[in-house]
A and B are shown apart, each in its own frame.
Chain A
Amino acid sequence: MALLHRVENLLLAATLAALLACGVTSLLPAWAAADELIRHLTLLTGMLGGMVAARDGQLLAMGAVVQALPHRARVPAGLFTGFVGTAVTALLTLAAWQFVREEVGSGSTLAFGIPRIALQAALPLGFAVITLRLAWRSAAGAGVRLGVLVLAVAGAVVAEHLGADLALARVPLLILLSIATVLGVPIFVVLAGIALIWFLTAGDPVASVPLDHYDQVTNPLLATLPLFTLAGYIVAATGAARRLVRLLRAWSGHLRGGPAVVAVLACTFFTAFTGGSGVTILALGGLLMPILLNSGYRDQSALGLVTGAGSLGVLFAPCLPLILYSIVAQVPMTTMFLGAALPGLLLVVLASAWGIAASPPVARRRRFSWRRARVTTWRAKWELLLPVVPLVLIFGGYALPVPAAALTAAYALLAAAFLNRDLPRGARLLEVVRECGALVGGILLILGAAMGLTNLLITVHVPDRLTEWIGATLESRWLFLLALNLFLLAVGCLMDIFSAIIVIAPLIVPVALAFGMDPVHLGVIVLANLELGYLTPPVGLNLFMSAARFGRPVLTVARASLPMLAVLAVGLLVITAFPQLTLALPRWLGAAGGG
């Protein structure tokens, strides 16, 4: 077994290495065809990482309830969640098999003549292994484990066969799933489970759930997630954190809240150009957490700060959600960029203010020393160049986000190995890569499953019905704004930011126009709401990322993020109540109108 695990870890590391290599070479025009291969390597990384996370018990779950249970209740609770998890993943395996079976006929190939199906097969295979592992972890004895596995698989097969005949069982099944959620079944099981149960009992093909998983995970930008995460893990595993802490102390040790402000600015900056997919926490979290803790911040404050600041960049150009909204809502892009700038700044200022308030007092008056500042800056020079790499590549027009992310990871690796000479070696390096891969795998499982759930909402027309209702029922503009904010918060609770924009914006823009709202103002409200959505369970991307990165229960992270959530909510109120804040800059610079 131990040998098998080693082989699995090596395979995961090899896949990440291949992803890195393909990402770097895709910079060359002759290798542009590698794009499809890169996307499927992301899929492979995700499934292998997911398998490893399931093996090592690192799949993210909501449940903090289990820890609160009396000891004798834990075994049956584990058995119950284990059974539910095994049954759902068994059904997911079956669905993935059906999806891939339909794809065989299409006979398409990726780059270099590799048949697409060869990598698509990772989907049912990976889910099958995860099924086995959830059964394995459900109990201690071999007999019980086998019993759980057999019962769960049989249940899944029978349910799939019955389909719409189970219509009456929909509600009881969903209730069972929600009990399991509270007791700590993995989050991706919850998200996929809702979609699977609903589609199954409606007589719809369950294969659409893995189909959405596949489409989400092979989305062209998603390869940036494992790559930036890898860069973050490499830097965090070296002496960079220590050097950066010294640097920060030298420059801002005499100022109260210096580290907090730097953390907020760094996260904002990074999110603005990586696209707001929550990857900021994975890339920077490993550095910022120790910096904040070493600077004397309380654990809760540091956690809340890093988790919350990860979404602040969404309102700054060229963040992807901003661009996406301007296209979907048909607002000129420059107007949108200008309109979002001041509201974005407001949120940054508010978050920084909270960070300063949560700061420990400066212990002893420390005088600023140019010499110390110079020396610490020089020592940290290779780390300081790290964010410059993707920035120059992307804005200089040399590369798109994926090759830029690959080059950033490659730079982090090379800088640690040859410039700073503090890259961990051998087994320790492999362990860093395993951790990174398991994290990415867990996150990709959630992202894929969330897409299945999003598609369920779309298929049963939840967003359009709700918008219709809002438009038809509410009369005053203020009521509309209030309802809009509540609605968007709910959306943010269930959907990721990209699907939310694509699905919601075309629906609410006409309604908002009818209420006399400016579409740019609306866009900023939408985006600010979705920023909050990163921090609200059950689908709060930042909560998941942070919980995974720092190994905390999701609910602990959610609690730590409450102050940040409150700060953002205050900002949102101001932004909503004062359209001038949004519209002043575009009007002043004459970019308003047109489009």
Chain B
Amino acid sequence: GTELRIATVAPAGSSFHKRLQGLGADWARGPGGLRMNIFPGTQGGELQIVRRMRVGQIHGAMLTSVGLGQIERSVTALQMMPLLFRDWEDVDRVRERLAPELERRLFEAGYVVLFWGDAGWVRYFSRTPIHGIRDFRNLRVYASSGDPESVEMMKDYYRPVVLEPDQILLGLRNGMIDALPIPAFLANFSQVPSYAPYMLDLPWAPVTGALVLTVRAWNQLDPATQAWLRETSLRAGPEMRRASRAEDEQAVQAMRDKQGLKVVPLSAEAERELRHEVGKLYPRIRGGLVPAPMFDAAVDELRNGAGTGS
């Protein structure tokens, strides 16, 4: 039968890998016996995986919004909006609202979305406890080199230090950076608490993503197989989201138990102040990091949701 090469940055044996294997087994049971050839953590970072899909070496990938944003900028509306999403319900609502338009745009760019997923919250890990906006001021904080706009923006709050992802630990160890925003599962995996043992207990932004196939690969499949992939995705999407959300909490717990992580709560007053300060960024994010129409649609959905109460 046909074989599709699917890549992910998640390493072999990780839960993401295992769930892809599960989905692969579902694929194989369908018409045509489609085979999923998984490459866990072996085809490079998200940018590299996108490049490999462009030249046709890889047929699909599980990407976060960072990788998807390289294909279609609008996807950033699901991730690069600090403190706008308060819980998973917010994330789900905005995604449902934006998904049809995002999927249309991704299709135009050459990619078919099979399902959307997420991978926990980005939170701040630091060497010294952060109790409020003032504690940020003098911190040197990791910033991604792929993202000069947000580096520019965060200069008002702390001292961003641009590093490659694989140099984060080196930077933490030799004291170049004091803090970094990172999802819990990744912090746990990379042993971040051994250098930055404090975690600010405030979900900063969700890590969202999707499983995509290139349109080129999609068009090679017969209609029955395409329908089967759609059908398995209906189940796989919610399942993966449920599992990764549970894992987000498990990762924090594991870091507390094994790596001496200390979770630093934020007082209501301090949280209000922080949200107020970071709120000043939104006009710059709108139209900068996140295309304005998508930003407006997301904020509109969040406001309506808050109005109807949930």
Contacts and interface: CB of A to CB of B under 8 A. Distances in A.
B55 A208 contact: yes
A205 interface: yes
A496 to B, nearest CB: 14
A211 B52 CA distance: 8
Contacts of A398: 176
Q: Interface majority SS on A: helix, strand, loop or mixed? A: helix
Contacts of B151: 32-33
Given A103-B51, A211-B51, A502 B174 contact: no
A506 B51 contact: no
Contact of B159 (A29, A328, A397): A29
B174 A396 contact: yes
A330 interface: yes
Contacts of B5: 459
Interface in A231-249: none
Contacts of B42: 458, 502-503
B191 A333 contact: yes
Interface string B8-34: 000111000000000000000000000
Nearest to A398: B176
A251 B98 CA distance: 73
B13 to A, nearest CB: 6
Given A215-B48, A400-B170, A400-B176, A36 B191 contact: no
Given A323-B169, A332-B191, A400-B167, A510 B174 contact: no
Given A330-B189, A397-B175, A458-B42, A318 B166 contact: no
B174 A458 contact: no
A300 interface: no
B162 interface: yes
Interface in A502-520: 502-503, 506-507, 510
B48 to A, nearest CB: 5
A396 B174 CA distance: 7
B70 interface: yes
Interface of B: 5, 11-13, 39-44, 48, 51-52, 54-57, 70, 143, 145, 148, 151, 159-164, 166-167, 169-171, 173-176, 189-191, 194, 258-259
Nearest to A98: B55
A220 interface: yes
Contacts of A289: none
Interface in A284-337: 318, 323, 326-328, 330, 332-334
A127 interface: no
Interface of A: 29, 32-33, 35-36, 98-99, 102-103, 105-106, 108, 111, 204-205, 207-208, 211, 215, 220-221, 318, 323, 326-328, 330, 332-334, 394-401, 455, 458-459, 464, 502-503, 506-507, 510, 594-595
A475 to B, nearest CB: 23
Contacts of A397: 174-176
Nearest to A331: B191
20 contacts: A32-B161, A33-B148, A33-B162, A35-B162, A99-B51, A103-B51, A105-B54, A106-B54, A207-B55, A207-B56, A207-B57, A208-B52, A211-B51, A220-B145, A327-B189, A332-B194, A397-B176, A458-B39, A459-B5, A506-B41
Contact of B57 (A29, A205, A464): A205
B274 to A, nearest CB: 24
Nearest to B257: A594
Nearest to A31: B162
A309 B174 CA distance: 26
Contacts of B176: 397-400
B145 A211 contact: no
A524 B163 CA distance: 28
Contact of A327 (B48, B162, B191): B191
A378 to B, nearest CB: 31
Contacts of B167: 220-221, 400
A327 B174 contact: no
Question: Which one of B41, B42, B170, B194 has the highest number of Cβ atoms from chain A below 10 Å of its Cβ?
Answer: B42
Given A32-B143, A35-B145, A595-B191, 18 more contacts: A36-B145, A99-B55, A103-B51, A106-B54, A108-B70, A204-B56, A207-B55, A207-B57, A208-B52, A208-B55, A208-B57, A211-B52, A215-B51, A330-B189, A334-B194, A401-B170, A459-B39, A459-B57
B40 to A, nearest CB: 8
Contacts of A105: 54
Question: Which one of B54, B56, B143, B160 has the highest number of Cβ atoms from chain A below 10 Å of its Cβ?
Answer: B54
Nearest to A105: B54
B51 to A, nearest CB: 6
A102 B145 CA distance: 23
Given A35-B145, A400-B167, A458 B43 contact: yes
Contacts of A395: 174
Contact of B55 (A29, A205, A328, A594): A205
Nearest to A396: B174
Enumerate the 10 nearest inter-chain pairs by beta-carbon distance, A residue then B residue, closest first: A397-B175, A32-B162, A207-B55, A220-B164, A208-B57, A506-B12, A102-B54, A397-B174, A205-B56, A35-B145
Question: Which one of A32, A36, A102 has the highest number of Cβ atoms from chain B below 10 Å of its Cβ?
Answer: A32
A324 to B, nearest CB: 8
B12 A507 contact: yes
Nearest to B174: A397
Contacts of A401: 170
Contacts of A400: 163, 167, 170-171, 176
Nearest to B195: A333
A542 B55 CA distance: 33
A464 B11 CA distance: 13
A55 to B, nearest CB: 30
Nearest to A457: B42
B162 A211 contact: no
A220 B166 contact: yes
A327 B190 contact: yes
Nearest to A499: B42
Given A32-B162, A333-B194, A395-B174, A502 B54 contact: no
A28 to B, nearest CB: 11
B55 A327 contact: no
A135 to B, nearest CB: 27
B73 to A, nearest CB: 11
Given A332-B191, A400-B170, A506-B13, A106 B57 contact: no
